[in-house]
């Protein structure tokens, strides 16, 4: 029973659902009214409570073991089980929810197990994040930002050899919907030699794909590029909120620090590699004539199908826009095809020195901009560092984000002959500095 | 009952012990022959098993609650309790082990509670490290390294305003004694434009002070400089092993990554702020005429006594030296007085943007070199990047570390009229690349 052979569900809202049709089945962790967090699966406008379903005896064998590993409010142990458990659970969920399923009655008899997604459910981080690494694989972003500083030579010499990444702050990763307190910090006013302290004046978003690590490796071992896909548990959207003025002053010589660590937002649903399978494509952004990846980053299968075709969108609303009921302003329409390195290459690179990866580690892709206007994944690129403000339907202008602004990330996969699937939203609203 | 009023212990090996006299009483987590990890206190040549002592009814009130928080093999919950619990435990331990203590009989009746430190005890990481941040507050190191690249202008403009730091990898922090597998990675051979892949050829150590975070803060809140000392649980030694050739090629534009993340070694005993109290000194490394710290980094008490006088030493042995029974070669003799920023300033800075700190987070100080030959805290500085090899008594020379080399860090506090205390060792031996 495969994704293409089952197309419709008896859960009516799933059929044609923009994010969560039967073909997606992403996993997450939720709670209702302060109850203990349960694991669940999004289907249409509902959450299927995996704890309750387990108690009702709906799982057996490997699928049952998979669900048991989701108990406790964190998916780390489930991620650690790897692909076999994930696939067994998916197959069972497809059986349970397929149109005409003989199990429909058994599920519906347990009235509490399909909960309304939008109503009272609070989504949590799906896993305990031990370590968070932010990569820089969006080559158009690297070029756009590089051009601001080095017009003639925007890419550094290592870019096409090294999947550049750096360690991020794990403690401040939060699920969609968490407000974003404007950070304070040191900034250097233009033309001055001494910094001042105060609220960030150049608050920005960054549009990224998040990657959840599944099975880890022991310290001292490396994950071969050909095995790397087996170590990825799933995907989410990630907003790498950035304080550009703090960043400019602090980042030499050791990289961004407080300019990023105040919060990172992620979409709470883990979209699996299996759900994304129809939307794989050749590793896209490496043009002919570019250097061949070094052998530890080179794998035929990865070159042929290591990329993804995921449409990524960023929307902005301001307080005034919301009061006037104006539609959200689209800031970005981009795609994961702008990744210069694949997720397998990120995993192989990260572990090639013996660095230990663990189930529940999170990677960010880096900002995924396209080359054109309308495709830029940050205000830094859109407004050229504040020089070209954008105009909104409310009559307001924006160089960077102001208090009350809300940023919404969306991700969607479309392909002729396949159901579209999506990631749900990654939202965050800016609050004034304390 | 204070540190100065009790000077001798009935535990004979504690009196005059180089590291662990009665005045120190550092906490750690140990196990014997694969048993479950217990918390313990180092005293002389022994470990006092806190679990067993709790069972024997040796603690009451706040001290009892403190010990209960150390159960489970990780000190995070104990760190979270903060200063009051730490002080209550310390006071009780001083009572238990003071010369002439009426409780000696009760402790000795429980024969298993004073274990030989050196024999069968395996030391573990004392806490689950959620996030690890490496600072760069050793100003002499920053100048020494800066000179290699910018002889006329070694310090970057932000150095005297910003306690520079960056996120490190938490998953590969290991206790003293863990072997160091030589990492592999990309390096750019001199004069070439394309990198090669292979074992690191410029493996180095970095001598640092480690700082354990106690009580944390909520995301969005900041820890005021005047309160920062209350958020520090203790201290250790830290070796920030570094692959210089990998670092040189990868670190632009986002900082060091795989050149550091293969392993970081720490000494396993948590030396408390209370034990270090007699060795506090004025914030030492900021000369007259330097810019005043911004108000969020400025506190009178911190300026007056925020520094430490801790002597730091690095020793090297090679396989040949060990075979010939030659004494270890001293590479470094330095001191924490070369910190430009205090640990309170690090805490205040790290959280000023609302970044959440959590009990069990670890900070590294950055390399603590002095300005003179013999005081440099890395081979990069000692050999000027490999240009001036060092000669060893075995007749060998070293530009960087070779397989079989062992690095040993030591830290010691000395002050007239006070018992010396130390940190124990932080050791690591280099293994050949896989």
Mutation pick from A153, A172, A218, A257 vs chain B, by most beta carbons of B within 10 Å, is: A257
Closest approach of A2 to chain B, Cα-based (Å): 37
CA-nearest residue of chain A to B170? Answer: A131
**In this predicted structure, what is the pLDDT of residue A4?**
53
pLDDT at A298 exceeding the cut of 70: yes
Q: Where are the domains of chain B?
A: 12-123, 134-431
Q: How would you class B316 by CB atoms within 10 Å of its CB: exposed for 0-12, middle for 13-18, buried for 19 or more? A: buried
A1: CB partners within 8 A, 6+ apart? A91, A94, A95, A98
**In this predicted structure, what is the pLDDT of residue A120?**
79
pLDDT at A2 exceeding the cut of 80: no
- Assess B434–A contact: CB distance below 8 Å, yes or no: yes
CB contact under 8 A, B250 and A356: no
Closest CA relative to residue A246, chosen from A232, A260, A230: A260
How large is the greatest C-alpha to C-alpha distance in chain B, in angstroms?
73
How much is the average pLDDT of A58-76? 97
Distances (CA, A) of B292 to A194, B159, B282, B301: 11, 12, 15, 15
For residue B346, which residues of chain A lie inside 8 Å, CB to CB?
none
Query: Strand pairing of A46-49 and A38-43?
Result: antiparallel
Strand, helix or coil for residue A428: strand
Q: How far apart are CA B238 and CA B365, in angstroms?
A: 9
Query: Strand pairing of A121-123 and A207-213?
Result: unpaired
Identify the active-site residue in A124, A141, A338, A349: A141
Identify the active-site residue in B141, B231, B329, B350: B141
CB contact under 8 A, A195 and B250: no
**Bridge partners of A36?**
none
B335: CB partners within 8 A, 6+ apart? B309, B310, B311, B312, B368, B370
Strand, helix or coil for residue B347: helix
Q: Is residue A30 a contact partner of residue A36, using CB atoms and an 8 Å limit?
A: no
pLDDT at B2 exceeding the cut of 50: no
How large is the greatest C-alpha to C-alpha distance in chain A, in angstroms?
73
| pLDDT tier, B112 (very low <50, low <70, confident <90, very high otherwise) | low
Q: How far apart are CA B421 and CA B279, in angstroms?
A: 10
Closest approach of B90 to chain A, Cα-based (Å): 30
Closest approach of B382 to chain A, Cα-based (Å): 21
Helices (H), A306-351: 319-323, 343-351
For residue B157, which residues of chain A lie inside 8 Å, CB to CB?
193
Instruction: Report long-range pairs for A227-232 (Cβ below 8 Å, ≥24 apart).
Output: A228/A299, A228/A302, A228/A343, A228/A344, A228/A345, A228/A347, A228/A348, A229/A273, A229/A302, A229/A306, A229/A343, A229/A344, A230/A82, A230/A83, A231/A82, A231/A347, A231/A357, A232/A273, A232/A343, A232/A344, A232/A347
Closest CA relative to residue A200, chosen from A218, A213, A182, A178: A182
Closest approach of A267 to chain B, Cα-based (Å): 19
Q: Give the Cβ contact number of residue A420 at 10 Å.
A: 17
CB contact under 8 A, A197 and B294: yes
A254 dihedral zone (left: phi>0; alpha: psi -120 to 50; beta): alpha
Q: Is residue A252 a contact partner of residue B156, using CB atoms and an 8 Å limit?
A: yes
Mutation pick from B132, B262, B354, B433 vs chain A, by most beta carbons of A within 10 Å, is: B354
Mutation pick from A193, A196, A353 vs chain B, by most beta carbons of B within 10 Å, is: A353
pLDDT digits (tens, 9 = 90+) for B244-295: 999 999 999 999 999 999 999 999 999 999 999 999 999 777 888 999 999 9
Q: Is residue B242 a contact partner of residue A203, using CB atoms and an 8 Å limit?
A: no
How much is the average pLDDT of A273-301? 92
Helices (H), B29-138: 50-55, 61-68, 76-81, 83-97, 104-109
The CATH superfamily label for domain A132-431 reads: Fumarylacetoacetase-like, C-terminal domain (3.90.850.10)
B 33-72 near A (Cβ less than 8 A):
none
Structure tokens, A348: 């192989």
CB contact under 8 A, B219 and A161: no
Give the DSSP letter string of B6-54: ---BSSGGGTT-SS--TTT--EEEEEETTPPPEEEEEETTEEEEHHHHH
How much is the average pLDDT of A367-376? 97
pLDDT at A152 exceeding the cut of 90: no
**In this predicted structure, what is the pLDDT of residue A71?**
95
State the Cα torsion B239-B244-B247-B252 to the nearest 10°: 120
For residue A294, which residues of chain B lie inside 8 Å, CB to CB?
186, 195, 197
Q: Is residue A406 a contact partner of residue A430, using CB atoms and an 8 Å limit?
A: yes
What value of ipTM does the predicted structure carry?
Answer: 0.96
For residue A166, which residues of chain B lie inside 8 Å, CB to CB?
166-167, 254-255, 257
b/e burial code for range A126-158 (CB count within 10 A of at least 16 → b): bbebbbbbbbbbbbbbbebbbeeeeeeebeeeb
Residue B300 is inside which H or E element, if any? helix B300-305
Closest approach of A416 to chain B, Cα-based (Å): 39
Q: Is the dihedral of CA B55, B57, B61, B62 positive or negative?
A: negative
Closest CA relative to residue B78, chosen from B126, B24, B130, B35: B126
What beta strand segments (E) does B106-164 contain? 114-116, 121-123, 132-135
- Assess A238–B contact: CB distance below 8 Å, yes or no: no
Closest approach of A276 to chain B, Cα-based (Å): 29
CB contact under 8 A, B184 and A434: no
Distance between start and end Cα atoms, chain A: 54
- Assess A175–B contact: CB distance below 8 Å, yes or no: no
**In this predicted structure, what is the pLDDT of residue B111?**
63
Whose structure tokens read 């300005």? Answer: B371
B 150-169 near A (Cβ less than 8 A):
156-158, 161-162, 164-169
Q: What values do phi and psi take at B232, rounded to 5?
A: -110, 125
CATH code for residues B134-431:
3.90.850.10
CB contact under 8 A, B353 and A169: no
pLDDT digits (tens, 9 = 90+) for B307-326: 999 999 999 999 999 999 99
Q: Give the Cβ contact number of residue B270 at 10 Å.
A: 26
CB contact under 8 A, A167 and B257: yes
CA-nearest residue of chain A to B292? Answer: A194
A 286-315 near B (Cβ less than 8 A):
291, 294-296
Helices (H), A217-323: 244-250, 273-276, 300-305, 319-323
CATH code for residues A12-123:
2.30.30.230
- Assess A353–B contact: CB distance below 8 Å, yes or no: yes
Count helices and strands in chain B by DSSP H and E runs: 12, 25
Q: How far apart are CA B380 and CA B400, in angstroms?
A: 8
Closest approach of B110 to chain A, Cα-based (Å): 39
CA B62 to chain centre: 27
- Assess A255–B contact: CB distance below 8 Å, yes or no: yes
Structure tokens, B311: 């002597």
pLDDT digits (tens, 9 = 90+) for A319-343: 999 999 999 999 999 999 999 999 9
Partner residue opposite A183 with nearest CB, options B131, B168, B353: B353
A411: CB partners within 8 A, 6+ apart? A209, A237, A267, A310, A311, A312, A313, A422, A423
Q: How far apart are CA A359 and CA A170, in angstroms?
A: 14
Instruction: Number of A to B CB contacts under 8 A, please give it.
Output: 190
How much is the average pLDDT of B166-195? 97
Residues annotated within a binding site of B for substrate? 136, 150, 247, 251, 367
Q: Is residue B375 a contact partner of residue B334, using CB atoms and an 8 Å limit?
A: yes
Partner residue opposite A167 with nearest CB, options B169, B193, B354: B169
The percent of residues in chain B predicted with pLDDT above 70, rounded, is: 98
**Bridge partners of A212?**
A234, A362
CB contact under 8 A, A355 and B158: no
Rg (CA), chain B: 22
Is B338 a residue of the active site?
no
| pLDDT tier, B5 (very low <50, low <70, confident <90, very high otherwise) | low
Residues annotated within a binding site of B? 134, 136, 150, 206, 208, 240, 247, 251, 260, 264, 367
Closest CA relative to residue A240, chosen from A374, A366, A130, A339: A366
Q: Is residue A49 a contact partner of residue A42, using CB atoms and an 8 Å limit?
A: no
Mean pLDDT for all residues in chain A: 95
Partner residue opposite B172 with nearest CB, options A186, A219, A258: A219
* Eight-state DSSP code of residue A94: H
How much is the average pLDDT of B26-49? 95
**In this predicted structure, what is the pLDDT of residue B6?**
65
How much is the average pLDDT of B16-35? 95
Structure tokens, B132: 């690890």
How much is the average pLDDT of A155-171? 97
CB contact under 8 A, A296 and B197: yes
B132: CB partners within 8 A, 6+ apart? B167, B168, B169, B170, B173, B264, B361, B362, B363, B364
């Amino acid at each position: 029973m495969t994704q293409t052979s089952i197309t419709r569900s008896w859960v009516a809202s799933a059929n044609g659902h923009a994010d969560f049709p039967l073909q997606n089945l992403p996993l997450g962790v939720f709670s209702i009214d302060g109850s203990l967090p349960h694991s669940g699966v999004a289907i249409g406008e509902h959450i299927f409570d995996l704890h309750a379903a387990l108690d009702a005896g709906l799982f057996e064998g490997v699928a049952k073991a998979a669900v048991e590993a989701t108990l406790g409010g964190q998916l780390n142990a489930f991620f650690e089980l790897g692909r076999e458990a994930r696939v067994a659970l998916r197959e069972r969920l497809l059986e349970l929810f397929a149109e005409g399923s003989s199990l429909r009655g058994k599920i519906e008899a347990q009235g509490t197990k399909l909960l309304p997604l939008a109503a009272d459910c609070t989504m949590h981080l799906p896993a305990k994040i031990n370590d968070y690494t932010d990569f820089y694989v969006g080559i158009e972003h690297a070029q756009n930002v590089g051009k601001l500083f080095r017009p003639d030579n925007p890419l550094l010499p290592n870019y096409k050899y090294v999947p550049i990444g750096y360690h991020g702050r794990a403690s401040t990763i939060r699920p969609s919907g968490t407000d974003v307190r404007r950070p304070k910090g040191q900034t250097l006013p233009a033309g001055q030699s001494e910094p001042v302290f105060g609220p960030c004046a150049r608050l920005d978003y960054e549009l990224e794909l998040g990657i959840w690590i599944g099975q880890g490796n022991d310290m001292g071992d490396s994950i071969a590029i050909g095995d790397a896909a087996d170590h990825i548990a799933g995907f989410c959207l990630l907003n790498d909120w950035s304080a550009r003025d703090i960043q400019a002053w602090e980042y030499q010589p050791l990289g961004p620090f407080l300019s990023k660590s105040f919060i990172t937002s992620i979409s709470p649903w883990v979209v699996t590699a299996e759900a994304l399978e129809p939307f794989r494509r050749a590793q896209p952004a490496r043009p002919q004539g570019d250097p061949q990846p070094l052998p530890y980053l080179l794998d035929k299968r990865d070159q042929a199908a290591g990329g993804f075709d995921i449409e990524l969108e960023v929307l902005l609303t301001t307080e005034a826009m919301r009061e006037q009921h104006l539609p959200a302003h689209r800031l970005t329409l981009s795609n994961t095809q702008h990744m210069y390195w694949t997720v397998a290459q990120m995993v192989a690179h990260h572990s090639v020195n013996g660095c230990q990866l663990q189930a529940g580690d999170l990677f960010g892709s880096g900002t995924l901009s396209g080359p054109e206007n309308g495709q830029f994944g940050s205000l830094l690129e859109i407004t050229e560092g504040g020089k070209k403000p954008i105009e909104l339907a409310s009559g307001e202008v924006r160089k960077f984000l102001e208090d009350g602004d809300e940023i919404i990330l969306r991700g969607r996969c479309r392909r002729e002959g396949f159901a579209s699937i999506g990631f749900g939203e990654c939202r965050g609203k800016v609050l004034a500095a304390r």
